[in-house]
Amino acid sequence: MDIWLLLLQRAGVPTMDVALLGRWVGHLFNGRLAHDAIRRTPAIAAELGPGWLTHYAVGIAFAGLLVALQGASWLDKPALLPALAWGLTTAATPLLVLQPAMGAGIASTRTPTPLKSSLRSLANHAVFGLGLYLSAAAQTRLAA
C-alpha cells in the first residue's frame, strides 16, 4: 500500500497526510476524539512518528484479523478474493471512523469532493487487500 501511495503522490494525487493521523492520535491520548478540522487543530510534537506507528499498527492488526477470519491455513494456500474483500472491508475504518473524527464527516461528506475521496479510500484499501494476498503468496513460495 505504501508503494501505491508513493506512486499516487508522485502523480500528484492527494493522499493521506500521516502527520495528521499522528496529530489525531496525540489528541486522542489527551481525551479528544473528534475535531472540527484536524488541520486547524494544534500540532503535537513529532506527530509524524505516531502517525506512521499508528498506520502500520492498524495495518498489521488488519492483516492478523484476515488470518484469524480465514484460518491459518489461508497462509498456506492464499486466495485473492478473501484478501481483496477484506481490504475493501477495512475501508470502513477511515470512511466511518477516522474521517468523521478528523472533521471530514462520514465518507468525507464535509469535504469539497466526498465521492472522489471515498472512492480513493476504497481503491487504497483494495490495494491493501491485494498486498495482503501478494505477501501471503510470496511467503508461501519462499517457504516451499
Q: Which residues of 40-51 are buried (b: 16+ CB within 10 A; e: fewer)?
A: ebeebeebeebb
- pTM for the structure as a whole: 0.93
**Does a structural domain hold residue 69?**
yes
- Give the closest residue to 104 by CA, choosing from 4, 88, 112: 112
**Does a structural domain hold residue 5?**
no
DSSP string, 10-28: HTT-----HHHHHHHHHHH
**Does a structural domain hold residue 20?**
no
Measured CA to CA, the distance from residue 85 to residue 140 in angstroms comes to 20
The C-alpha cell at 24 is 489525531
- When divided into structural domains, the chain yields a total of 1
**Does a structural domain hold residue 124?**
yes
**Does a structural domain hold residue 90?**
yes
State the pLDDT at residue 1. Answer: 85
**Does a structural domain hold residue 91?**
yes
State the pLDDT at residue 14. Answer: 87
Lookup result for grid cell 498489521: 60
Walking along the chain (144 residues) 10 residues at a time, the average pLDDT comes out as 92 93 96 97 96 97 98 97 98 98 98 96 97 97 90
State the pLDDT at residue 45. Answer: 94
State the pLDDT at residue 126. Answer: 98
**Does a structural domain hold residue 108?**
yes
Q: How many helices (H) and strands (E) does the chain have?
A: 8, 0
**Residues contacting residue 68 through CB under 8 Å, at least 6 positions apart:** none
